[in-house]
Amino acid sequence: MYDILYNILGNQVVAWIIAAALPLFVFILPFALFAVWLERKVSAHMQDRLGPMRVGWHGVLQTIADIIKLIQKEDIIPAEADKKLFNLAPVLVFAGSYAAFAAIPFSSKYIGSNAEVGIFYVIAVSSFVVVGILMGGWASNNKYALLGAMRSAAQIVSYEIPSAIVILTMVMLTGTLSLDKFSQMQTAYFWNWFILGGPGSGITKFLLIPFMIVGFTILYISTLAEVNRTPFDIPEAESELVAGYHTEYSGMKFAMFFLAEYGNMFAVSAIITLLFFGGYQSPFGYLGNTFKLPWLVPIEQVFWFTGKGIFFVFVQMWLRWTLPRLRVDQLMHLCWKFLIPYSFVNLIIVGFITLFR
């Protein structure tokens, strides 16, 4: 992306700034606006309600109105809060979720950074969010915020283990850490997706399918917990902790936490898409190839990638309105006694299959 901009603009700094800011304004902000609306509509319709209906067609502009309201709000800092950390925390949380987008390939032509260690970088940088959350909870000088932050930290750190093991399984199977290569491997049709055994044919492909499904399930559950979504939303359990780590935040700082949350939701969905569901590849081949229009292919890829990502975000919302919140001990029980053993067994079996294929 940077290279293309550099060729067009001829100025390193400008190209660098645009390349860095582009995903924010082109994707994350509109996505967050859309996702908040989608969340409200999905939750409403699952409860046989209508949700926002007034602002725009079926309330599509509701989030924009909310953002305008948030901008106008007074920025309140509690008197006893640690002001420096308090102001830094939302920036850090947002930076953590935003940084993950740098390595995510939206199409073969649009990657912030085509790093060879893409998936490793994403795991590393998304843990950054924990620091911001803990910082915000601590600096608020509020017992509920601190409790929420502690829970969140414990939860994210625990659930990184099963997700890392599943990602390790996939890395072992494919032999690459680059997210772009992950996508390229699953090209052509949907039976080349890793959820269906990956490219290639023969008995190993079919042997892999159940273990891929197990891996996908574990990864989905643990990433769900990492982004603090229901049923793993004990850090923001409103019935026990007011709102968790962002209790004391208002106005734009609250909006930044919010934006980071929705950005993270898409980031983890994107990781799942990349690892198991073909990344930016179309499931049925490209219209651009059939009609000999090569410029259409990257656009289709963006469509497929965001489509798959938004589908998994939708499933996250769907689960939110299906399952009740887990207790703290149940949460840890699920992670340490179920997800981690299963992911280890999965790792070993997939390792053997990889060895003998």
Partner 1 sequence: MSGLKQYLKDTWQGIWTVLVGMKVTFKHLFVPAVTIQYPDVKINLPERARNRLYVNMDDCIGCDQCARACPVDCIEIETVKSIPGEDLGLTSNGKKKALWVTKFNIDIAKCCYCQLCVFPCPTECIYMTDVYEFSEYERENLVYKFATLTEEEAEEKKRNYEKYMAEKEAQKTAAAKTKTEQPKTGDNK
Residues that bind partner 1 (CB under 8 A): 42, 44-50, 53, 217, 318-319, 321-323, 338, 342
Q: Tell me the Ramachandran region of residue 77: left when phi exceeds 0, alpha when psi lies from -120 to 50, beta otherwise.
A: beta
User: Cβ of residue 338: shortest distance to partner 1, in angstroms?
Assistant: 6
Asked whether 107 and 68 are in contact (CB, 8 A), the reply is: no
User: Cβ of residue 68: shortest distance to partner 1, in angstroms?
Assistant: 23
User: Cβ of residue 212: shortest distance to partner 1, in angstroms?
Assistant: 15
Q: Which is nearer to partner 1, 41 or 205 (CB)?
A: 41
Phi, psi of 227 (to 5 degrees): -95, 15
Phi, psi of 189 (to 5 degrees): -115, 170
Q: Which is nearer to partner 1, 46 or 171 (CB)?
A: 46
**Which DSSP letter does residue 164 get?**
H
Q: Which is nearer to partner 1, 255 or 326 (CB)?
A: 326
Asked whether 235 and 149 are in contact (CB, 8 A), the reply is: yes
- What distance in Å separates the CA atoms of residue 307 and residue 12, rounded to the nearest whole number? 33
Phi, psi of 4 (to 5 degrees): -60, -45
Phi, psi of 110 (to 5 degrees): -125, 90
User: Cβ of residue 108: shortest distance to partner 1, in angstroms?
Assistant: 33
Q: Which is nearer to partner 1, 28 or 334 (CB)?
A: 334
User: Cβ of residue 97: shortest distance to partner 1, in angstroms?
Assistant: 26
Q: Which is nearer to partner 1, 36 or 134 (CB)?
A: 36
User: Cβ of residue 298: shortest distance to partner 1, in angstroms?
Assistant: 33
User: Cβ of residue 119: shortest distance to partner 1, in angstroms?
Assistant: 26
Tokens representing 354 are 């990889």
Q: Which is nearer to partner 1, 170 or 334 (CB)?
A: 334
**Helix, strand or coil, per DSSP, at residue 83:** helix
- What distance in Å separates the CA atoms of residue 98 and residue 137, rounded to the nearest whole number? 20
Asked whether 349 and 357 are in contact (CB, 8 A), the reply is: no
Q: Which is nearer to partner 1, 206 or 338 (CB)?
A: 338
User: Cβ of residue 229: shortest distance to partner 1, in angstroms?
Assistant: 14
Q: Which is nearer to partner 1, 220 or 280 (CB)?
A: 220
In angstroms, what CA-CA distances link 304 with 43, 64, 107?
A: 25, 26, 9
Sole residue written with tokens 């420096």:
84
Question: What per-residue string of b and e applies to 19-37 under the rule 16 or more CB within 10 Å gives b?
Answer: beebbeeebbeebbbbbbb
